[in-house]
Amino acid sequence: MSESPSPCVSLEEILSSFKVESAALQQVAARFPFRLSRYYAGLIRRPDDPVWRQAIPSLQELSDSDQSPDPLDEERLSPVPGLIHRYPDRAVLLAGRQCAVFCRFCMRKRSIGCTGDAVDLERAVDYIAVTPTLRDILISGGDPLLLPLEMLDTLLSRLRAISHVEIIRIGSRLPVTDPARITPELCRMLACHHPLYLNTHFNHPLELTPQAARACDLLSGAGIPLGNQTVLLKGVNDDPAVLEELFRGLLRMRVKPYYLHQMDLVQGTAHFRTPLARGMEVVEALRGRVSGMAIPHFVVDLPGGRGKVPLLAETARRQPDGSWRIRTCDGRMVAYHDPA
């Protein structure tokens, strides 16, 4: 493995194959980088279908100027480069800036695929080692499974050597976007570092392919519990029937639907946003139609680094003016403006 995923499809190639004019969308890609694995490109059936919307630039990305590049205050909450310490007992270790596909709705749209300061894994691990409250480390990025095998093995070994680190989690979309990169060799290495958990990121039933199922089977066979974090995306999956099919399919692949995320308020992504009320309606519509195992927590990651909050009747209250009051994990009621 290497941090440069391949083979990839150029934007010009994929647009040409569907007879779509590329000049304007190249301007979008100049602002927000584009990358598309050949495998994921093969899932596109037509322009503007659910896979296309996730992977192909849209002019709407450039018309969204009101939102923040970093609404979750990740940069403020980074005590050292490459580490986000938001909760007392958990931290996110950013292992790189590359992915097999640069998702158009990405929460780190400001940095994924962009040039900038190199990730300093040494300083990040050193910080974890001297912070005994940290028990749970999520390795994210970019996609950490794109790191060279030896580098990832070394990183996991260093984290395992820290006595207060109990749980290591990996966030990876490779089972969705480039499943051939989930190899037996990779899974054997990962199995040496238990307890290890992996959350992946399926958003639509079109992504539930035999190749994806095999990748998930390899990971599960290595003893790694799998969860899935879906983002609620307008025009992609904001429909109970679509999510029912997705969540049933995930359970068949031994992947537990874990979170359904309200879109973060990230600059360049407003065209994907659904109203908070729609998300609550969608989840409620699933109750009684599917097993409780197939219903994820519907959550919003509050701006300003206040953390994830489950959206329930007792935690999220709509105000007469259309705004929301949401109760945080520490009991405070905070205002949330829902642009949708």
Domain count, the chain: 1
Is 151 strand, coil or helix? Answer: helix
How large is the C-alpha radius of gyration of the chain? Answer: 19
CB 325 within 8 A of CB 300: no
Q: Does 116 score more than 80 pLDDT? A: no
Q: Does 22 score more than 70 pLDDT? A: yes
Q: Does 236 score more than 80 pLDDT? A: yes
Q: What percent of the chain has pLDDT over 90?
A: 74
CB 315 within 8 A of CB 327: yes
* Mean pLDDT within 68-90: 92
25 domain residue, yes or no: yes
* Mean pLDDT within 39-50: 97
Q: Does 336 score more than 70 pLDDT? A: yes
β-pairing, 297-302 vs 255-261, is: parallel
Question: Minimum mean pLDDT among 49-53, 256-260, 281-285: which range?
Answer: 281-285
In this predicted model, which residue has the larger pLDDT, 330 or 210? 210
Distance from C-alpha of 262 to C-alpha of 273, rounded to nearest angstrom: 8
75 domain residue, yes or no: yes
Q: How far is CA 319 from CA 267, 323, 324, 325, in A?
A: 25, 5, 6, 7
Distance from C-alpha of 251 to C-alpha of 254, rounded to nearest angstrom: 5
319 domain residue, yes or no: no
251 domain residue, yes or no: yes
Domain extent at residue 300:
11-307
327 domain residue, yes or no: no
Give the pLDDT band of residue 298 (cuts 50, 70, 90).
very high
Give the pLDDT band of residue 115 (cuts 50, 70, 90).
low
Q: Where in the sequence numbering do the catalytic residues fall?
A: 86-87, 90, 99, 103, 106, 108, 264, 301, 308
Q: Does 63 score more than 50 pLDDT? A: yes
Which structure tokens are listed for 46? 């037509």
Whole-model pTM over 0.75: yes
Q: Does 69 score more than 60 pLDDT? A: yes
Q: Does 233 score more than 60 pLDDT? A: yes
337 domain residue, yes or no: no
What DSSP string describes 7-40? SB--HHHHHHHTT---HHHHHHHHHS----BHHH
193 domain residue, yes or no: yes
Q: How high does pLDDT run on average in the chain?
A: 92
Give the pLDDT band of residue 5 (cuts 50, 70, 90).
very low
324 domain residue, yes or no: no
pLDDT of residue 191: 98
Question: Minimum mean pLDDT among 70-79, 126-135, 151-160: which range?
Answer: 70-79
In this predicted model, which residue has the larger pLDDT, 260 or 3? 260
Q: What is the CATH number of the domain that holds 217?
A: 3.20.20.70
Edge-first strand listing for the sheet containing 136-140: 83-87, 90-94, 136-140, 167-171, 196-200, 226-231, 255-261, 297-302, 307-310
First to last CA, the chain: 40
